[in-house]
Amino acid sequence: MTTSNGKPLELVEHRRHGRKPLHTCFQSIRGLDHGLLHGMAAFVVAYAANRDLDSGYWRMTKIRINHALSSNNLLDPTPLSKDGPSYLASPLPKRTRPRPKIMARTMPQRQVPGSIDSETKACLHTLMRDIASAHPDILEIKPSHTEGKSTDGLYARPDTSTLNPVARDKLLNHEIAHAHPAENSLHVWLSEPDARAVIEAGWGQRFPLTFVHKGWTMVYAPMNMNELETVERIVKAGVAWITGVSI
């Protein structure tokens, strides 16, 4: 980016005052991820050049800043209540493999892809449709609005008589679960006790945005069919929580 006279715009460098470039200052702050640094630098450049940032990009940058400045440990289940209903028929088995690495950005929340066998991957990415087709009176498939309509979302039908009133949440809006095509993790809407159980057993972690319902949980990608059975149990617990119907 250049200034109006065509010279490179340094990030408020002020060399004549002996000050460091602002991006150098950002990089000296420990714990800030690349996406956050890029966003902060882009804001300063746009501000200095008297230009507007795309509103969506700036909103995402603010989210990154707020998350980086918080002490929100997403592996800590204690913000989730122990009280309330649980829809897991039995305790989850402890996940035997280490937790996956999470991509170094706040949003979208993704894990580093692991080695998933082909059968498991195929079954995972038909799981939402399989569950919905088995229970068409309470469930439907729509493009996931929380994923920008890039994958199938499992939704509760709004006219379900036993529907949990929380399903009408403006952000999640009846969506129960979806799987991510690129790296096979999921997001599932669970009761707080069930979300807590998922984290404690090593199957997932909390969502980073505090204004989203606490039960909206990242579930790690299953690597084999045995792990997929547990993931299916978790999704079905989400179905019971939102629809009021155990399946």
Annotated domain spans of the chain: 15-68, 118-243
- For residue 175, the Cα-to-chain-centroid distance in whole angstroms is 14
Cα–Cα distance list, 153 to 117, 140, 204, 229 (Å):
23, 8, 19, 19
Tell whether the model's pLDDT for residue 241 goes beyond 80: yes
Residue 175 pLDDT more than 70? yes
Do residues 228 and 120 touch, judged by C-beta distance below 8 A?
yes
pTM of the model: 0.74
Phi-psi category of residue 202: left, alpha or beta, with phi > 0 → left and psi -120 to 50 → alpha:
left
Residue-by-residue DSSP string for the chain: -B-TTS-B--SS--GGGTPPPHHHHHHTSTT--HHHHHHHHHHHHHHHTT-PPPHHHHHHHHHHHHHHTS---TT--TTS-S-S----SSPPPPP-SPPPPBPSSSSS--BPP----HHHHHHHTTHHHHHHHH-TTTEEEEE-GGGTT-SEEEEE-TT-TT--GGGG-TTTTTEEEEE-TTT--EEEE--HHHHHHHHHTTSEEE-S-TTS-TTEEEEPPP-SHHHHHHHHHHHHHHHHHHHS---
pLDDT score at 3 = 33
Confidence of residue 51 (pLDDT cuts 50, 70, 90): very low
pLDDT at 35 over 70: no
Mean pLDDT across the chain: 81
- Residue 27's pLDDT band, with cuts at 50, 70 and 90, is very low
Q: Is the pLDDT of residue 61 over 70?
A: no
How buried is 169 (Cβ within 10 angstroms: 0-12 exposed, 13-18 middle, 19+ buried)? middle
Please give the Cα distance from 68 to 54 (Å, whole number).
Answer: 21
Mean pLDDT score, 161-181:
97
Select the more confidently predicted residue: 20 or 196: 196
Residues in the chain: 247
- 66 has which bridge partners? none
Q: Exposed, middle or buried by CB within 10 Å (0-12, 13-18, 19+), for 13?
A: middle
Average pLDDT in the 90-102 region?
95
Q: Is 93 exposed, middle or buried (0-12, 13-18, 19+ CB in 10 A)?
A: middle
Check residue 62 and give its pLDDT: 54
Tens-digit pLDDT profile for residues 134-170:
999 999 999 999 999 999 999 999 999 999 999 999 9
Structure tokens at 39: 């966003």
